[in-house]
Amino acid sequence: MRRMTARPANAHQARLLRLLRDHGPNSRAQLGDRIDLSRSKLAVEVDRLLETGLVVADGLAASRGGRRSHNVRLAPSLRFLGIDIGATSVDVAVTNAELEVLGHLTQPMDVREGPVAVFEQALALAGKLRASGVAEGFDGAGIGVPGPVRFPEGVPVAPPIMPGWDGFPVREALSQELGCPVMVDNDVNLMAVGEQHAGVARTVRDFLFVKIGTGIGCGIVVNGEVYRGTTGSAGDIGHIQVEPDGRPCACGNHGCLEAYFGGASLARDAEAAARAGTSPELAARLAAAGSLGAPDVAAAAASGDPVALDLIRTGGTRTGQVIAGLVSFFNPDLVVIGGGVTGLGHTLLAAVRTQVYRQSLPLATNNLPIVLGELGQAAGVTGAARLISDHLFSPA
Ligand SMILES: [Zn+2]
């Protein structure tokens, strides 16, 4: 099948494509209401998009009196690939042009194996999705990696948990493998964008997305756009100091948030408690499995284990301490908590909320919702698809 070869010729066409992506099939009249263009100019641009094949006619629109017109929609054959690389797993999904997920696969993976091994696994999952019939090919791919990214070039920069990734040309290498355009961003930024497109942040312009996975990071969305900072490391909140001269951190400093909370330190603390004999519940799980992770702490907490509950509450309080500082600084509409550790659920959320409301000024926290993400595992891949569609639905 012929893949997407055309790009919008101007900003009006780009805007029309994004409107059709975000709102689905529309009549010309509806498009006219959503875009600031004269009727004749709109007709010209829609006709040009129909000629490129990016947009197709799709049934008759509801009558508004006068002549009935056809709905238009994005080409149903368009397919985007979203790849979300975490520290310990990889998610791969295929979406249509409206970014609805048509197929989604996930598997455990260790990012420390390096880019070549990791992309081999991601591409194998993409191949499986293709074989399942949801896509014959890909028009573009978005990729999230768990570290800072030099955004225009799509290259990871000195990622602390990812030896072997520094400077690896992800965008170029994958674009060659897949035969389509590729965009790369930090995984947390893409989760924020996913929640903004189809999740809990759909209606807000300024929000923070805090991912608590193996590590902790923050996506910053300002006036609807991701803020990446000068070198792509904005939101790297896991290495904000919460305890002067505290525990050593993987980054080389002491007392970072990540040294106290996140999947990695939670596993370490849970195993220590199990060995010290303070939690029979965690000890039994350690004896059975040989190691512990966030899901074990979640399960122990659910059965009322006081040590597990305390680990979650203390971690939530420390995370809340950092978020309170961000809230005072940024004054967001919304704070979203996501990532693998959200399995700790409402105990974690309650501890974060208590700390933020206690520590921030009332003017910043008045009506400030602090909520769990809605999309779960699909946030990153949805954001990845959105990233590449934003790129392709821009003037060439
Ligand atoms: Zn650190």
Using the predicted structure, report yes or no on whether residue 67 has a pLDDT greater than 70: no
What CA dihedral angle connects 142, 148, 154 and 158, to 10 degrees? -140
State in Å: Cα 233 to ligand 1 middle.
13
State in Å: Cα 250 to ligand 1 middle.
6
- How confident is the prediction for the chain on average, in pLDDT? 92
State in Å: Cα 156 to ligand 1 middle.
18
- pLDDT above 70 covers what percent of the chain? 97
Using the predicted structure, report yes or no on whether residue 142 has a pLDDT greater than 90: yes
Q: 213-269 pLDDT, tens per residue?
A: 888 999 999 999 999 999 888 999 999 999 999 999 988 999 999 999 998 999 999
**Mean predicted confidence (pLDDT) in 274-282:** 95
State in Å: Cα 228 to ligand 1 middle.
19
pLDDT band (50, 70, 90) for residue 162:
confident
State in Å: Cα 328 to ligand 1 middle.
22
State in Å: Cα 241 to ligand 1 middle.
8
Q: Quote the pLDDT of residue 63.
A: 61
- Are residues 182 and 151 in contact, defined by beta-carbon separation less than 8 angstroms? no
pLDDT band (50, 70, 90) for residue 61:
low
Using the predicted structure, report yes or no on whether residue 340 has a pLDDT greater than 90: no
State in Å: Cα 230 to ligand 1 middle.
20
Closest to 88 (Cα-Cα) out of 349, 319, 262, 332: 262
Q: Quote the pLDDT of residue 94.
A: 98
pTM beyond 0.75 = yes
Q: Quote the pLDDT of residue 1.
A: 47
Determine the length of the chain: 396
State in Å: Cα 376 to ligand 1 middle.
26
- Backbone phi, psi, residue 294, to 5°: -55, -40
**Mean predicted confidence (pLDDT) in 50-58:** 93
Q: Quote the pLDDT of residue 68.
A: 63
Please state which of the ranges 131-135, 138-142, 160-164, 276-280 shows the lowest mean pLDDT. 160-164
State in Å: Cα 258 to ligand 1 middle.
6
Query: Which region, left, alpha or beta, applies to residue 327 given φ > 0 means left and ψ of -120 to 50 means alpha?
Result: alpha
- Are residues 73 and 382 in contact, defined by beta-carbon separation less than 8 angstroms? no
Closest to 132 (Cα-Cα) out of 105, 106, 96: 105
Q: Quote the pLDDT of residue 2.
A: 52
State in Å: Cα 191 to ligand 1 middle.
22
State in Å: Cα 214 to ligand 1 middle.
13
pLDDT band (50, 70, 90) for residue 17:
very high
Q: Quote the pLDDT of residue 342.
A: 65
Q: 78-121 pLDDT, tens per residue?
A: 999 999 999 889 999 999 999 999 999 999 999 999 999 999 99
Closest to 385 (Cα-Cα) out of 143, 35, 106, 62: 143
- Are residues 193 and 219 in contact, defined by beta-carbon separation less than 8 angstroms? yes
**CA–CA separation, 309 vs 288, rounded Å?**
21
How many other CB atoms are there within 10 angstroms of residue 344's CB atom?
A: 26
- Are residues 58 and 73 in contact, defined by beta-carbon separation less than 8 angstroms? yes
Q: Quote the pLDDT of residue 244.
A: 93
Exposure class string for 116-133: b at 16+ Cβ within 10 A, else e:
eebbebbbebbeebbeee
Q: Quote the pLDDT of residue 343.
A: 74
State in Å: Cα 244 to ligand 1 middle.
12
State in Å: Cα 245 to ligand 1 middle.
12
> Which residue segments constitute the domains of the chain, with CATH numbers given?
11-74 (1.10.10.10), 80-196+378-392 (3.30.420.40), 202-372 (3.30.420.40)
3-state secondary structure of 307: helix
State in Å: Cα 236 to ligand 1 middle.
10
